[in-house]
């Protein structure tokens, strides 16, 4: 069951992040509509279309879990977890963007079907893990390639809300690592000269920044998902 933002959170940031909070709270309705109506089917026109649909389906499921975790983290005032889930969502948006780019390249004859199938299997099955059962080892895309593809695709589609996507991701990464920002986030100094801290402390600016970040990422993911669905349908006629 999808979590909803706590009413106190909504009241605190209604003027600053109302559209983004609506996206988060409305994700379950959007997700189930696409999951059941567009992706749960067996009549895909080709193996490539099937591979692309599997990639999109898995990405939407991942995004749903990440949004659920993000909302729970915000409600619990858990700053480190909120940033981790927000950043992971941006990576998932990058996966969908990369899928769109692959099918566009195929449509434009910039690559062949085999290369496109390989790209989707790298997106879906790529891993650094080593297997002993003879299964193919698909090399994953570099995560920064996925992130950079968001702005590239947004520019191609004429979307303005992806500006700074990579910079925001890099900033979030600083808070996800156990360095100075990562160790300090979520802590409030009570008696700093005595080394006494309180936890958690999710201050307003940091909290609203993460709501804005994951909300904008989800808006892009939805737009890219619609584009990928259209391309999957078109693929049968290529």
Q: In this structure, are residues 95 and 227 in contact, taking their beta carbons and an 8 Å threshold?
A: no
Q: Is the pLDDT of residue 98 over 70?
A: yes
* 148 domain residue, yes or no: yes
Q: What range defines the domain where residue 151 resides?
A: 23-235
Give the tokens for residue 9: 């959170």
pLDDT cut 90: percent of the chain above it: 49
Q: Tell me what the mean pLDDT of segment 37-63 comes to.
A: 83
Is 200 within a domain? yes
CA of residue 14 relative to chain centroid, distance? 23
What pLDDT score was predicted for residue 206? 77
Q: Please report whether residue 5 resides in a domain.
A: no
Provide mean pLDDT across the span 184-206. Answer: 65
pLDDT per position as a tens digit, 131-175 = 666 666 788 999 999 999 999 999 999 998 888 999 999 999 998
Nearest-angstrom CA–CA distance, 162 and 141: 20
Task: Answer yes or no: is 1 within a domain.
Answer: no
DSSP β-bridge partners for residue 189? 197
Mean pLDDT for the stretch of residues 22-39:
78
Number of separate domains in the chain: 1
Element (H or E) spanning 51, and its range? helix 47-75
Tell if the pTM clears 0.75, that is, is over it.
yes
pLDDT tens sequence across 1-11: 577 888 988 88
């Amino acid at each position: 069951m999808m979590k909803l933002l706590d009413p106190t959170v909504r009241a605190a940031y209604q003027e600053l992040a109302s559209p983004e909070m609506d996206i988060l709270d409305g994700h379950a309705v959007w997700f189930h509509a696409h999951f059941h109506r567009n992706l749960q089917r067996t009549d895909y026109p080709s193996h490539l279309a099937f591979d692309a649909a599997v990639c999109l389906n898995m990405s939407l499921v991942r995004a749903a879990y990440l949004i659920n975790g993000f909302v729970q983290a915000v409600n619990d005032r858990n700053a480190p977890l909120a940033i981790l889930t927000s950043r992971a969502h941006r990576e998932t948006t990058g996966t969908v963007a990369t899928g769109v780019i692959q099918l566009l390249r195929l449509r434009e004859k910039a690559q062949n079907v085999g290369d496109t199938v390989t790209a989707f299997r790298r997106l879906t099955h790529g891993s650094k893990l080593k297997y002993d059962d003879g299964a193919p080892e698909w090399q994953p895309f570099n995560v920064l390639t996925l992130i950079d593809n968001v702005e590239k695709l947004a520019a191609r589609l004429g979307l303005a809300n992806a500006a700074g996507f990579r910079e925001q991701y890099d900033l979030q990464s600083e808070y996800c690592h156990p360095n100075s920002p990562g160790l300090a986030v979520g802590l409030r100094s009570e008696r700093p000269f005595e080394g006494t801290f309180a936890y958690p402390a999710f201050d307003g600016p940091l909290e609203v920044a993460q709501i804005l970040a994951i909300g904008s990422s989800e808006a892009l993911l939805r737009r890219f998902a619609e584009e990928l669905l259209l391309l999957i349908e078109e693929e049968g006629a290529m």
